[in-house]
Chain A
Amino acid sequence: MAASAPPPEKTEENPILWVARPMWTAARQFAKSLVRPSTIIYPFERLEDPKFRDEVQVASGKPIGVGHVWDNYRGVHALNIATCISCNLCAFSCPDVCIEMVTVPGGDPKHPKKCPQIDYGKCSYCGFCSDACPEGCLSMTTRYELSSPKRADLVYSPQKMYEVFQRKLPMSPIRLERPANEDAILLDAPLCIGCNACARDCPTNCITMLDIPKAVAKPGEKLPRRIWKEPVVNDSDCVRCGTCISVCPKECLFWGTHP
C-alpha cells in the first residue's frame, strides 16, 4: 500500500505542534462553551430576549430595532379591515399573484366588501402590496414566525391579518403621499352613455354623475339617445385604482393628464 513514493515532507515546525495546537484550541473552546454555548435554543429562547439583545448589538455594532428584528423588517402583513376600501390595488401589484380578494362581512349585499387574503406559500415579502395600498391599511410587521405543518395554514385570511394588526407590532413605513404628476382618470365624453357603473364601483366614491347641458337638436337632426349625466372625478380623492376603467362598458375612461 505504501509502495508509492511519499511526497517530500516539509518539516518547518515540530510535528508535535500539529497535534498539540489544535487540541489546545479545541480545549479552550470547550472550556468556554461549557459555561454557555453561543447557541440560542431558538424556540425557547430568542434573540429578542433582553439578555441576548446586548450581545447582538455589540456583535453587529449597529443599533437594532425591537429585538434583533429591524423596524422595517418585512414579515407577516397586518391588515386593518376597517380602513380597507377594497380597491384591489394590493392584489394588482403583487408580482407573485398571491393575493386574492375575499369577501368579509361589513359590506352591503349588492357590493360586498372585499379584503386581501395572502398565501404566504407564494409571497416573496417584496412589500409592493403595502406600498401600493392607498389607505395605509396593509403593512408589513416584524412577525417572522409562520411555519406550519400544513400548507393550508399559510393562507392568511383578512381576519387573521387583522389579528396581527391588533398586536400593534412595529410596521414597515407607510407611504401615503401621492406622486405629484400622477395620471388622472379622463373621460372621452362623446362615448359615455352615463351608465353609472364607474360611480357605483369606485371604492372611494370620488365619482359623481353630474348633469351636463342638454344638446339642442338642429331641425332635421337625430340626436343619439343619451342619459344626460356624465362622471366627474374628484382627483384629490381618487386613489388611481383603475376600477372605473375596468368596469366601464364603453371603454370611455382612460389614463391621462388634464389639458
Chain B
Amino acid sequence: MVTTLYDVAYFLSSSLLDALGTHLPGILGTALTNSGLIWLLAAVIFGAILLGASMINTIMLIWFERKMLGRFMDRRGAMHVGFAGLLQNFADGLKLFRKNTFKPREADALGYYSGPTAYMVTSLLIFGILPISSGWSDGSLPLTLLLALVIFSFAPLFIFVSAWSSNNKYSLLGGMRSAAQMIAYEVPILIAVVAVVVVAGSFDLTTIVNEQQNYWFWGPLFLALVVFVTGMLAEMERIPFDLPEAEAELVEGWNTEYGGMLFAFFMLADYLRALVGSILVVLLFLGGWTLPSYLPAGLTSFPLAGILWFMIKTYLVFGLFVWIRASLPRVRTDQLLRVGWMRMIPLSLLSIVLAVVLVAVRCLPVFGCLPPVGGT
C-alpha cells in the first residue's frame, strides 16, 4: 500500500478530531468530526511535517558541511554542543533568534523585511513539492519539475529587493552580481533539465525517477549532469561562484545589513536551496529513492527505505558541493559570466542532442535499455 505524506497527515488529523469529538457532547462532537475542519487540520499538519523535515535537514546540512569542511582543512569542525557538535547549529540558531532585529535608518522597511521572508518562503515551497520517496506525494502535480525550477528562479528578485532596500553599496553590488549570475545560470540549467525531460518523457519528478529503474541518468546524460551541477553551484552561490557575497570584497554581499533572525532567514534559505539543489540532482540523475536492481531487494523493502536511500544520496551530492567548495578558489565575474554564457549553454544544447540520440537508440550497451514509452 502506498500512502502519501498527505494521507498520514489526514489520518493524524482525523484521529485527533475523532478522539476529541467523542469527548464532546452531542451536536458539538459531530460538528467537529463532520466539518471541513479535518482537511484544514490535515493541511496544517502536512505543512508542519514538511517544515520540520526541511528545517531539520537544513540544519543537519550545515552541520554536515561544517564537519566535512573541517576534515578538508585538517581540523574537526563543531564538536562541543551535543554529540559531535550535532546541536551546535541549533544553538547558533537560538542565539540568532534571541538577537535584536534592527533596520538601518535609511533602509526601506517594506523591501528590507519582505526580501528575506519571501526568499525563505519560496525556498520552503520548493522543498514542499519535491517527492522524497515513492509515498511522498501522490503525483497530482504533473509539472513538478517545472514548478520547482520556476520557484527556484524567483530568488534573484528577492535578493535584489532586499539588497537594494538595505541602502548599502556593498549590498547593492552583491545584489546586482547575484541577479546577473543567477540569470546567467538559469538558462543552462533549464536546458540541461530539458535533456532529462526528453529522455524521461515527463515533467513529473516521480515519473522521472521511475524511468530510471533500468539505469540512472547520470551515465548517459553525464554532460547534462555536469552542466546542472555547475549551474546549481552558481544558483546556490557557493564557492567557487560565491561572488555575490565575496567576503574579501563586499563584506557579506547582499546580506551585509542583515542581522539576527533576518540573517538567519538568509542563511537557512541558502542551505535550504543547497538541499533542494542536491535533491534535484538525486531526482534527475541518481535515481531518486531507488537502488540499482542488481542489489538485493532486502535493501529497499524495509519501511522508510526509500527516504533513507534518498537522504544518503542527497547528503553525498551535498558532500560533492562541499568538496568543490573546499578545493576551488573564487572565480572572477567576467570568468563566471563567460563560462555561463559561452561554455555552459553550448554544452547544455549538446546534451539535448545526446538525449535525443539516446531516445532514438533507446538501448545503450553499457547502461541497458530505457523502459518502453509511457510504461513504468
Contacts and interface: CB of A to CB of B under 8 A. Distances in A.
A30 B323 CA distance: 9
A2 B341 contact: yes
Interface string B312-331: 00000000000110111100
Interface residues of B, number: 21
B154 to A, nearest CB: 21
Given A6-B334, A6-B338, A1 B180 contact: yes
A236 interface: no
A26 B74 CA distance: 10
Interface in B320-376: 323-324, 326-329, 333-334, 337-338, 341
Contacts of A37: 70-71, 74-76
A39 B323 contact: no
A228 to B, nearest CB: 76
Contacts of A39: 74-76
Contacts of A23: 323-324, 327-328
B interface SS class? helix
B53 interface: no
B328 A1 contact: no
B375 to A, nearest CB: 39
B79 interface: yes
A179 interface: no
B309 interface: no
A118 to B, nearest CB: 32
Interface string A174-202: 00000000000000000000000000000
A26 B323 CA distance: 7
B323 A41 contact: no
Interface string A205-218: 00000000000000
Given A2-B337, A37-B70, A25 B327 contact: yes
Contacts of A30: 68, 71-72, 323, 326
Given A1-B333, A23-B328, A41 B76 contact: yes
Interface in A31-68: 32-34, 37-39, 41
A25 B74 CA distance: 12
A1 B70 contact: no
A29 interface: yes
Contacts of A38: 74-75
A interface SS class? helix
A24 to B, nearest CB: 8
Given A30-B72, A37-B71, A37-B74, A22 B333 contact: no
Interface string B152-185: 0000000000000000000000000000100000
A17 to B, nearest CB: 12
A27 interface: yes
B323 A2 contact: no
Interface in A131-154: none
A223 interface: no
A29 B73 CA distance: 8
Contacts of B323: 23, 26-27, 30
B70 A2 contact: no
A82 interface: no
B228 to A, nearest CB: 16
A31 B76 CA distance: 13
Given A1-B180, A23-B324, A23-B328, A33 B337 contact: no
A4 interface: yes
Nearest to B341: A2
A38 B334 CA distance: 38
A128 to B, nearest CB: 39
Contacts of A32: 74
Contacts of B70: 37
Contacts of A26: 72, 323, 326-327
Contacts of B76: 37, 39, 41
Contacts of B333: 1
Contacts of B324: 23
Q: Which 6 A-B pairs have the closest CB atoms?
A: A26-B327, A22-B327, A23-B327, A39-B75, A33-B74, A2-B337
Given A30-B72, A37-B70, 11 more contacts: A6-B334, A6-B338, A19-B327, A23-B324, A26-B326, A29-B73, A30-B326, A32-B74, A37-B71, A37-B76, A41-B79
11 contacts: A1-B337, A2-B341, A22-B329, A26-B72, A27-B323, A30-B68, A33-B71, A33-B75, A37-B71, A39-B74, A41-B79
